A and B are shown apart, each in its own frame.
Chain A
Amino acid sequence: MSESNDYLLAMEGICKAFPGVQALDTVDFSLNRGEIHCLVGENGAGKSTLIKVLTGVDRPEAGKISLDGKEIHPRSPQHAQSLGISTVYQEINLCPNLNVAENILLGREPHKGGRIDWPKTKILAAEALKRILDIGIDVTKPLSTYTVAIQQMVAIARAIDITSAKILILDEPTSSLDANETQQLFKAMRKLKEDGVGIIFITHFISQVYDISDRITVLRNGKLVGTYETDSITRVELIAKMIGRSLSDLDEMSSIKLESSKQIKSEVLLKAIKLGRIESINPFNLELHSGEVVGLAGLLGSGRSEIARVLFGADRPDTGVIEFNGKAVTDHSPLGAIKRGIALCPEDRKAEGIVDDLTVRENIILAMQANNGWFHYLRLQEQYAIADKYIEMLNIATPSADQPVKNLSGGNQQKVILARWLATKPQVLILDEPTRGIDVGTKAEIQKLVLELADEGMSCVFISSELEEVLRTSHRIAVLREREKVAEFSGEVDEHTIMQAIAGSES
């Protein structure tokens, strides 16, 4: 039975490699007409690469894409759009200074007698909104006066209207929407579904996956884990597929035993009391003891990085109090945190971590130097000594300490940032996805290091999408779901329990 003929879209055996990493490894994907198909996976799974291949931004090394049975080779987003594949990105790519009608019809405005026919434009735009999404808004107001949810609808309307798209790709559309707006969006999506449009929906909100989708495809580290009917897979099973133990890594990992004395002193270093930040993380309580590793488990978007930032001081909390060594914290800033002895290794090392044109040495001593202030410049000898110490300790692969950090591989860059924070000799070390994009061997190194640091009295917060990792390295685990801390377990807990906590209720 030649199934590919029935599919609206069929992608077979897609392979795509970037220098140093296999982004997609023989991935298959299919989409029916009138189907909402969710694409899920944690960071680095390959979702965005798959979409880029489909929309012509990147070209695959191997594989075949068929639309309505015919093979296609999208060359660019414009070309993909002309083929009928439209995308609405997370950053709404419209012009907020123009009004709604214009945004929908930009480039195709109706003309009358040599000039743009505004009345007709308004009518056409309103009609498109009604027809495609069944919503009616004042199309003469500037786009910027509308909420993000409405802006997204406008973007969708434009995408569909332009080429009567057959396939609509929605890339994380609900990240900035509240519950009501999400339902608005879903209503529009169901209307499109009725009209036979195939929708690829990328999201990390599991409850939404179950709310709206017909089928789910799970990617992990560039490989296809599987495609499932939404009705036939439970939440826990899904989460297991996404972040649970994976067979290939399992063998490698189990050979590296982690030893830890697990000596937790009872001294409370950091205490968060009803700490919260609007639109970021709901008020939570958390205690960090000296010599302990606390893991934060949860899916992408559940608030992990937000907790990290607010504990560190990069984000100012709106509610609650942080106590460090018993005293309430008033100076919420990175410098204040460093002075207190709190360190944060941020999640996005490119944007928030490395200063790419500076050398390894400079990157390593940066935070230390910030602590010393402008005028107590560390002597060059000292700088090199510190740099060399950490290069050796963390096994950073670099020809010299004077190499610009941008020339290092991702894993080594991560180590440089780690070195930077270790150099400040913190009492509390928060690590947000420290092992992302790093090979297995280095991952184990880092996990071992974290436990060693804890043994020396440091208190660590370990955040990772890989649940297995969190379990291996943590003494205690806090579980987050949809911007809220929902549970806390001791380190001896089993995976299944955690995944259930992450999944929440089965609906």
Chain B
Amino acid sequence: MMERASNFISNNRRYIPVLATAILAFSAYGIGAIYFEGLRNPQVFLNLFRNSSYLLISAIGMTFVILSGGIDLSVSGIVVLTTVVSAALLRAGWNPWAVILLVIAMGMTMGVVMGSFIVYLKVQPFIATLAGMWFARGMCFFISDNAIEINHPTFKILGQTRLLIPGLKELADKQGIPAPYISIPVVVGFVILIAAVFLAHFTRFGRTVYAIGGNQQSARLMGLPVNRTLLLVYTFNGFCSVMAGLAFALFVSSGHGLYAPGFELDVIASVVIGGTLLTGGSGYVIGTLFGVMVLAITQALIQFIGSLSSWWTKIVIGVLMLIFIGVQAWLTNRKGGRRASLDAQAYRRPRQRLALVAGVLLTIIVLAIIFIPRLITPSAGSTPVSDQCEVKPFRKDEAASLIADGAVVAYHRLAGPNCIDEMYAIYPDGRVVGDNGTSQVEANKDPAALTSMLMTIRDEYGWFTDEIVDTYHVPCRQCYAHYVIIVHDGQEKGTTAVDGGVSMPPGYGYTLAVIRNFLPVMPPAP
């Protein structure tokens, strides 16, 4: 019985990394859901996909590149270039569909160019794609130094449309909660995912990619069109990068060359954690989906825990990558063949031991680096909770009294890295007052603009609908907490939210953004 089990395992060894990632993703979410009520909201789960749709799309393309044994560092460059080009063209009045087609062509061209460098000029993929990234980011600044906003209605629709999930709507209605929804980029992402799985497993192109990653020399000798396939791989990745760029542009509604720094590392991490070997030839496209989920869930969990700095995300990702690379190395050691297995056995034992030692060393080093400086400095016996800013409760009464005084918007902002406490009020004549306890500011804005803003908030962002609910939780070190009351056309509503989470409804975020345009700058507290 045990033998049959171990036989089964060794026959299906190649699925282990993918399964491991999937199990990791779901169990992490499950455990989180036990501790945090917010996670039990199905919308929060779906928001994971909404917020990481661009990561998923890009990672799908990267999977093919890595499967072929290469790497592509240019993805973040193409993503931001896409955002900037689309924003600029839309601003100039182009037809949005023409814009989309154009940027796709642009991205695929860049892919072809980089691929040619790699295949024909034999430049190392690392360097060629790095040059591509610099070039793309640089090109952004030729177009514009500052961020360009995207205001085009089509893009707004693409970004903000909510797609209800059939089946879940009825369930939700029964329970009286808002129907869960996803966005168009998520659907696009899944469509590309399905297409990619098909490509990888049911076309000659996909099998050639795997063959090249397994042994490029052999693939050539077997008569496969290696050069053409590699070119196609990089072109496809260019396409995916553009699509990711479009999804990202929809997400942030603007374009700027400074966005998404280090994005390519997140993409690579997703692919590796998804079970694909960095050396190529082994891995499954579906694994990348789980890898993206792991990244998104890690981020969400850390935000929900709140007391951990969000930079723990990077560390966790790094540790996960180490584990996965180690596991991959171990699994590939046990090749078939007596000779190979003998050598492997000779190497495996010390290597396993080394892996264990390395893991322990890593933990010790990380802990040492973090804690030694703290030990040397006098710490106030701080517990993790009090390490951060002590967030005071919202001054809801004060805000309410401002409204009673005639303000149409009362906005209380707390926390953040500098632990602020600012209260603003906007009056119908355009006057804006702000107070942070020590100083006051005042400004006069155009009342017409104010009215139009309020109308946008009511109609487009749905402030007064059931969409916008209180989503307050303990903010992370860098994050702000908000309480906003808005009065318009006979309706009044005040809601709380916290930055940087998956929980803040998008409408809230947009509202904050437009309100901020109105607010004068407050001098920092001494």
Chain A residues proximal to chain B, CB less than 8 Å: 77-78, 81, 93-98, 102, 106-107, 109, 115-116, 118, 141-148, 151, 158, 162, 176, 178, 278-279
Contact = CB atoms under 8 A, between A and B. Distances in A.
Nearest to B14: A142
Nearest to B218: A93
B11 A145 contact: yes
A144 B211 CA distance: 13
B210 A95 contact: yes
Contacts of B203: 115-116
A144 B337 CA distance: 8
Contacts, number: 81
Interface string B208-224: 10110111011101111
A151 B207 contact: no
A101 B284 CA distance: 19
Interface residues of B, number: 31
Given A93-B215, A95-B210, A279 B339 contact: yes
Nearest to A149: B337
Given A141-B11, A147-B336, 18 more contacts: A81-B223, A94-B222, A95-B211, A95-B218, A95-B222, A97-B213, A97-B281, A102-B207, A106-B208, A107-B223, A107-B224, A109-B207, A118-B202, A144-B337, A162-B223, A178-B338, A279-B339, A279-B342
B335 interface: yes
Interface in B197-244: 198, 201-204, 207-208, 210-211, 213-215, 217-219, 221-224
Contacts of B339: 148, 176, 279
A102 B206 CA distance: 12
10 contacts: A95-B215, A95-B219, A96-B335, A97-B210, A97-B281, A107-B222, A107-B224, A142-B14, A278-B342, A279-B339
A116 B221 contact: no
Interface in B322-365: 335-340, 342
The residue among B213, B215, B282 with the most chain A CB atoms within 10 A of its own CB is B215
A77 B221 contact: yes
Contacts of A141: 11
Contacts of A145: 10-11, 336
Contact of A97 (B201, B208, B223, B282): B282
Contacts of A109: 204, 207
A147 B337 contact: yes
A94 B207 CA distance: 13
Contacts of A158: 222
B487 to A, nearest CB: 59
A147 B222 contact: no
A143 B336 CA distance: 8
Nearest to B222: A106
Nearest to A146: B336
A341 B222 CA distance: 48
The 4 A-B residue pairs with the shortest CB-CB distance, nearest first, are: A95-B214, A115-B202, A97-B214, A93-B218
Interface in B425-442: none
Contacts of B219: 95
A147 B338 contact: yes
B213 A148 contact: no
The residue among A143, A144, A178 with the most chain B CB atoms within 10 A of its own CB is A144
A61 to B, nearest CB: 25
Nearest to A151: B337
A176 B204 CA distance: 32
A56 B395 CA distance: 85
The residue among B210, B217, B222 with the most chain A CB atoms within 10 A of its own CB is B222
A116 B207 contact: yes
Contacts of B340: 148
A395 B211 CA distance: 50
Nearest to A94: B218
B211 A93 contact: no
A316 B335 CA distance: 22
Nearest to B277: A97
A386 to B, nearest CB: 37
B222 A93 contact: yes
A94 B340 CA distance: 16
Nearest to B343: A279
Contacts of B213: 97
Contacts of B14: 142
A146 B217 contact: no
Given A95-B218, A98-B210, A106 B336 contact: no
Contacts of B10: 145
Contacts of A162: 223
B337 A98 contact: no
Interface string B80-112: 000000000000000000000000000000000
A241 B340 CA distance: 35
B213 to A, nearest CB: 7
Contacts of A115: 198, 202-203
Interface in B276-327: 281-282
Contact of A148 (B202, B223, B224, B337): B337
Interface string B183-208: 00000000000000010011110011
A178 B337 CA distance: 11
A98 B209 CA distance: 11
The residue among A77, A95, A107, A143 with the most chain B CB atoms within 10 A of its own CB is A95
A148 B338 CA distance: 8
A147 B340 CA distance: 9
Contacts of A102: 207
